[in-house]
Structure 1
């Protein structure tokens, strides 16, 4: 095996296979919970340890880099992003350093930066008390209470009155997550912008339409977003300004945007590709595999990609169910048999628990479809999801796990640079 030597944090076997196919020599670090035998086929070395243990992973990376230097530290794993930025800066490598990645990881830091630069300003509070939150709602009419770090709409709560703010604050206390922020409630249709950057130049790959059904956890995506060309271009220009302000140098970014009556506003942004099957949608419509783009930044001479025009449209719709314990799952074969359906996956079976939809991890499955235009793709995706019926019975004890227990289930902490003592208190 030869080629550019990269340190890759996390990632599934298919992603690492793509890295090898790009000509990269991969040294992979996996959490014990992420280990799978299939990883061994593609790696020059595989180290099983908690890459969110910053002192430990830094010492290991230093030692390996001294023996045979890396050219990049790469990841598309949310829990590893800020650690990858730290290692990039610490080892003096090319790529996105810890400052830019940390701003995207910490929603308070991103909001502070954008407000300071006058880019889509949004009122918010950090380090607030319960009384501060109630007063904020009185002044702004409505607000959002959310963890300062994290993704997938984990723990996001909408409050429309001081009384609701009080209840949300009580819920936050019970959740075991103490680092929350409060910001004004944005209104309008929501989109995400998928971008790829080289040398600080940002290319918009597509604008993705998002359906939240009035909640924070998305229930569907469609590519391309059903938008007039000039509106899509406006949103793209806005996101490029955001990424310039952050100082993102290279690689993928996934920026969620609300198109408010006052113009585009950032919801959050991440230095990785979007989840929720967005990569599959982009591949179907534009013929671009964002995983491969993310990996090719480590190769010499990588230039700005050409984005083919959209050919048709693709949509994903997520399978949801009433919270409780699953008693039956029906209709999967019927959904898969519909013309234009490309993929159907359901991740629950009888005996499993469906939790309230507080996080993207709480969704029960998905369908992916392809059609001639965005409207047809969305209709087909709804039809396919409607064919799937998951029946549950109430099980209050099973669905009552607080948020910090949910993070423990996926072996993740929100801030790997927080003291281990603080993390132990919250688990």
Structure 2
């Protein structure tokens, strides 16, 4: 019998391994197609079949998948967002070409362009921050003046908070404008910058499968002006009315963007006017989110996504109702990681669901102000919100590390 394969376009530092393991549990053979498979350590560690191919080139991917079909029964194709999320959109087109289950390619492409997404949400009456599109320094300054400081300035295409910054005054705006347009930020097409009103208030994420909200978590960030996640709590501490309002606004994004097939992640802020949509991502969220949702309610978003991708029925029934929380271990300085320890002791604590370190000692750390600043995470769960918070804090307190700063000029 021909072996059933799941094609994964590119990999992912936080959830790629989870997809590989889930595929194998479903008796699928995972195959990763990547422009640079060596960048994903887990592929070698897990002996995952990996093939080097230009994942921005749809024709090259079609040729490679056609070749693989001579050996495997390709049951499904999905992928992960790249630097500008184009890889995920390309994967959806690949599904359409081979008549495999997947969302509407046009809807995914529109959603991955943050400016187009903003326009569609605005037309549908979904509450969003004021926004402008800019292509050069003059337009960025003009947009910020029209909206009024503080503003969020970010690439119109991208993920993981890369290139996203809160600009609170003219100096910060000029500094980030220079960063984005002066050659430090890598653009894969002509620069398109989104300037947005800073929607102030608590941050929430709604995790949706199909048209059903599976869970809503609350999150906060490390120090501004960047947006590096620090802490998550699931379910979010909301009143019934607040939960309903966030759910209603999140679900209203789906018809506005032509979504509703598979996973969607909606980020919001609760402002003085109520919930305001910050961003909609037509995929499973990265980071700790899938494990957090699973710990809180027993639904494995990744497994159920794969079931849908290969044409099986998913099972979104909640197995339990627990309180889960995650803490991100973020680098506090640039330099060389000398040592990190305490993770084994933390993992042994009752109620700790996961402790994961992303890097090894002697690794160079250069903070980017985005997801790459994380060096690990801890997840805890229990039947009490307060108990979960206490377990998580005890675990985090056990983990220590030392980073030696890089020598300064002249040393």
Q: Does TM, scored on the shorter chain, surpass 0.5?
A: yes
Hey, what does 2:165 align to over in structure 1? 157
TM-score by length of 1: 0.81
The answer to whether residue 201 in structure 2 is matched with residue 193 in structure 1 is no
Match of 2:194 in 1: 181
- Cα-to-partner distance string for 1:354-411 (whole Å, 9 max, x where unaligned): 323511121111111113333432343234223322222321789xxxxxxxxxxxxx
Residue number in structure 1 paired with 2:264: 253
Matching of residue 101 in structure 1 with residue 108 in structure 2: yes
Q: Deviations over 1:324-382 (max 9, x none)?
A: 22233344344334442232233344422232351112111111111333343234323
> Following the alignment from structure 2 to structure 1, what is the Cα–Cα distance between the partners of residues 348 and 27?
38
Structure 1 360/301 Cα, relative in aligned 2: closer, same or farther at 3 Å? Answer: closer
Change (3 A) 1:49 1:331: same
Q: Does 1:167 pair with 2:175?
A: yes
CA change 1:47–1:131 in 2 (3 A) is: closer
Taking the aligned partners of 2:346 and 2:170, their CA distance within structure 1 comes to: 44
- 1:230 aligned residue (230, 241, 251): 241
Q: Which runs of 5+ in 2 are unaligned?
A: none
- Alignment CA distance shift 1:280-1:13 (3 Å): closer
Of 80, 91, 98, the match for 1:84: 91
Distance in 2, Cα, partners of 1:224 & 1:273: 17
Task: Determine the structure 2 residue equivalent to 1:425.
Answer: none
Gaps of 5+ in 1: 399-427
Give yes or no for the alignment of 1:316 onto 2:326.
Answer: yes
Deviation at 1:125, TM superposition (A): 1.7
Which residue in 2 is equivalent to 1:364?
Answer: 375
The 10-residue stretch of structure 1 (83-92 or 29-38) with the greater mean CA deviation from structure 2: 29-38
Q: 1:289 aligns with which of 281, 300, 325?
A: 300
C-alpha RMSD over aligned residues: 3.0
Contact 2:265 2:283 in 1 (8 A): yes
Verify the 8 A CA contact 2:129 2:278 in the aligned structure 1: no
Matches within 5 A, 1:52-131: 52-61=56-65, 70=74, 72-76=76-80, 80-131=87-138
Distance 2:198 2:138 in 1: 18
Mapped to 1, the partners of 2:29 and 2:203 lie a distance apart of: 39
Equivalent pairs, count: 390
Within 2, Cα distance between the matches of 1:26 and 1:270? Answer: 24
Q: Secondary structure at the match of 1:209?
A: strand
C-alpha spacing 1:2/1:195, structure 2 compared with 1 (3 Å): farther
Evaluate the alpha carbon distance shift between residue 40 and residue 395 of structure 1 in structure 2; reply closer, same or farther with a 3 A threshold. Answer: closer
Going from structure 1 to structure 2, the CA distance change for 1:365 and 1:181 (only over 3 Å counts) comes to: same
1: CA distance between counterparts of 2:214 and 2:200? Answer: 25
Does the 8 A contact of 1:225 with 1:374 survive in 2?
A: no
